[in-house]
Amino acid sequence: MSEFAGKAPGYPLAGLKVLDFSRVLAGPFAGRMLCDLGADVVKVEPPDGDITRIWGAVIGNVPGYFAQQNAGKRNISIDLRATGARELVFDLVRQADILIENYRPDVMPRLGLGYADLQAVNPRLIMLSISGFGQGGPESHKPAYAPIVHAEAGLLARQARRGNIPYRDLPLSVADTNASLHGLVALLAAVIHRASTGVGQHIDIAMIDATVVTDDQLHYDLERSEHTGPLRNDTWETGVGPILVSADFRFLWQRCTRGAGFIRDATTSDMPLDEKIATRRAMMADFMAGLDSWESVEKAMAAMNIAWGRVRDPATLRDQPTVQARGTIIEVDDRAGGVRPIPQSPYRFSAARSGVRGPARHRGEDNQAVLRDWLGITDGAIAALLSAGVLCSAGDEPVS
């Protein structure tokens, strides 16, 4: 069971009430971080469930993807198209501090739940809307998951050009998580602003904006100046496994030869440049391959004062020394009598708590508890909402 608002002493956001209407990643990740910081985050899930209930290993009838992004949240299930649903949402909004949604911009207004409708009910409400291309623009109507934004923002083209590979998507949803984290910053700024003004507001986060502003390499493209930047980081095969070295090869060569003296340069000044580069790279590859223990790798990199890291299989991430020491991956209740791994909150405070506060819930599992806590309504009224199809029965099976 999660430590809900009012039962989360020491958490910086204890007492903050959040309605999370979002699905998949961009919204749910922001909600998960708010929950880790102590807010009472209530996921409002439709009757057919969040699509992420079909992704990942299913343990205790909760799939892995859903479990990771919704840990610690409470869960109610509302059919927003049912008669009486809008009124129930209004009742919840009257008690809420924050509402998160990541539908296309026209969806919430069509349901009668646009910001103007909700602000009329609760002028102090802070609403975060995350969409691919923002509110009211030429592409606002377009559905957009992270890969679409990765393509539109130029990330696929840059990856293909620099890696000399075909166009392919990134192995993580950068556009979603960037938008989520920028949304989180905006939410907390709005909470501070409301404390001094009493005014809520609508925050419009476009995934493409968040991706562009977080792209530290973009200036090279916009100014046609990639030739002025450092060479790419290289991976090398050592005798014990691959490593990535974070250094321009020219700097690495200098540190390895004139600095540490590990290699005697066999190239000559009259060699053609391509031949010289190829020869030096071959010599470096031979040197790296000769490092036959992690101790010898560590010593060589330290002698050159070069930043490096093992190229790890993410399945073994819990063995990474810092991840292990900091408890970056923890175990939570798996709803089946055991535990399952989940990433811990990254926030480490000197005088406050943060962290995962419980497992993800089944769809509609907290209908009664949330409505009692937030609205104080009776079991009979809750039963009537279930009978009318406004609330959905607690579902314990993933969408199939």
What's the confidence (pLDDT) of residue 9?
83
pTM of the model: 0.90
Could you give the number of structural domains in the chain? 2
One domain, residues 41 and 179:
yes
Of 284, 313, 342, the domain-final residue: 313
Beta bridge partners of 128: 100, 203
Beta bridge partners of 343: 329
Distance of CA 89 to the CA centre of its chain: 27
One domain, residues 148 and 280:
no
Closest CA to 56 of 365, 360, 367: 360
* Owning domain of residue 283: 230-313
Q: How many CB atoms lie within 10 A of CB 243?
A: 19
Residue 63 placed within a domain = yes
Of 260, 284, 313, the domain-final residue: 313
> What pLDDT tens digit does each residue of the chain (400 aa) get?
344 444 778 999 999 999 999 999 999 999 999 999 999 999 999 999 999 999 999 999 999 999 999 999 999 999 999 999 999 999 999 999 999 999 999 999 999 999 999 999 999 999 999 999 999 999 999 989 999 999 999 999 999 999 999 999 999 999 999 999 999 999 999 999 999 999 999 999 999 999 999 999 999 999 999 999 888 899 999 999 999 999 999 999 999 999 999 999 999 999 999 999 999 999 999 999 999 999 999 999 999 999 999 999 999 999 999 999 999 999 999 999 999 999 999 999 999 999 999 999 999 999 999 999 999 999 999 999 999 999 997 654 444 3
**For 248, what's the count of Cα atoms within 13 Å in the CB-facing half-sphere?**
8
* Active site (catalytic) residues: 176
- Sign of the torsion angle spanned by Cα atoms 316, 30, 109, 40: positive
Of the chain, the end-to-end C-alpha distance in Å amounts to: 26
Residue 3 placed within a domain = no
What's the confidence (pLDDT) of residue 335?
93
Of 249, 281, 313, the domain-final residue: 313
CATH number at residue 366: 3.40.50.10540
One domain, residues 287 and 330:
no
Residue 272 placed within a domain = yes
